[in-house]
Amino acid sequence: MSSASRRVDADGQPLRLMAVHAHPDDESSKGAATVAKYVDEGVEVLVVTCTGGERGDILNPKMDTPENWENIATLRSAEMARAREILGVEQTWLGFVDSGLPEGDPLPPLPEGCFALVPLEESAAALARVIRTFRPHVVTTYDENGGYPHPDHIRTHEVTMAAVDLAADSEAPQELGEPWPVAKVYYHMTFHRSRAVALDAAMHDDGLVSPYADRLKDWPDDPVQAARLTTFVPCADHFSVRDDALRAHATQIDPDGFWFAVPLATQQKVWPTEDYQLAKSRVATSLPEDDLFAGIETHEVDRVDTWFYSI
């Protein structure tokens, strides 16, 4: 695709992608290279962040200071602003409060008023309103397990799926806006065993210490999980943008830690895609896919022409 062109839908409108995430930093650790690729193709991308990450830990030892703990909400908001700029996306806060990750045996109750305890109809309506305003062709979110079992990630899945249905429902309250049927919904699936095995082998071949060695010992082969992979988006040229966005979340990402243990060139060569499961589709498509917009009628137009059209 030429850098002078952009992809539009059948009506000549820009393609639109919405990525729904639980906390600031999730947009940079899940699907960020995909997002950067589509931004380069002229796709309009909106990141919806469900919570402010107020109850998150500080995971970068260099940032672990009493002052930063006192200002964690402000810091995470500023980090999100930097990541948003790096990725070239729009971003909005859904406005709910981080639930935190409960620890202990037995697990303590979740904090009163947190995102995971807000009635589903309330949080789904809030997201449906954003969907009806932005009118995305494609929405990405987490699977029913949340990607990992953080209560906010699981709730993000539940809220997203309910909101997609509500946004399309012509009987839903008018104050949510005009109905909008999202064409396709995807789950992030990049952190799967096949990818880890491939990267682990490459690190050993190069005589390097693999960050996956210990993890793979307790990670059995799961054919059911592997079968869920439907869509592999080539975006290796944008892995560096993903990494820059990750580093913007300085309280959450250790620049000397796991995220950067595999050399960028190795990642680009061995596993040059970010991977997804097609969860819902209103359009016909053939699997496997290499494009989140597969099956949606699109064509390319000159970016200048589109700019004048949008004015």
Q: In what order do the strands lie in the sheet with 231-234?
A: 90-96, 44-51, 16-21, 138-141, 184-188, 273-281, 231-234
Residue 23 annotated as lining a ligand binding site: yes
Helices (H), ranges, the chain: 26-29, 32-40, 66-70, 72-87, 120-134, 151-168, 193-205, 213-217, 223-227, 239-248, 264-270, 303-310
**266 within 8 A of 202, measured Cβ to Cβ:** yes
Does 153 appear as a known binding residue? yes
Q: Does 26 count as an annotated binding residue? A: yes
Alpha-carbon distance 195 to 231, whole Å?
A: 14
The token duo for 60 is: 């970068």
Length of the chain: 311
Residue type, 59: L
Would you list which residues are annotated within the binding site for Zn(2+)?
A: 23, 26, 153
- Give the annotated binding-site residues: 23, 26, 153
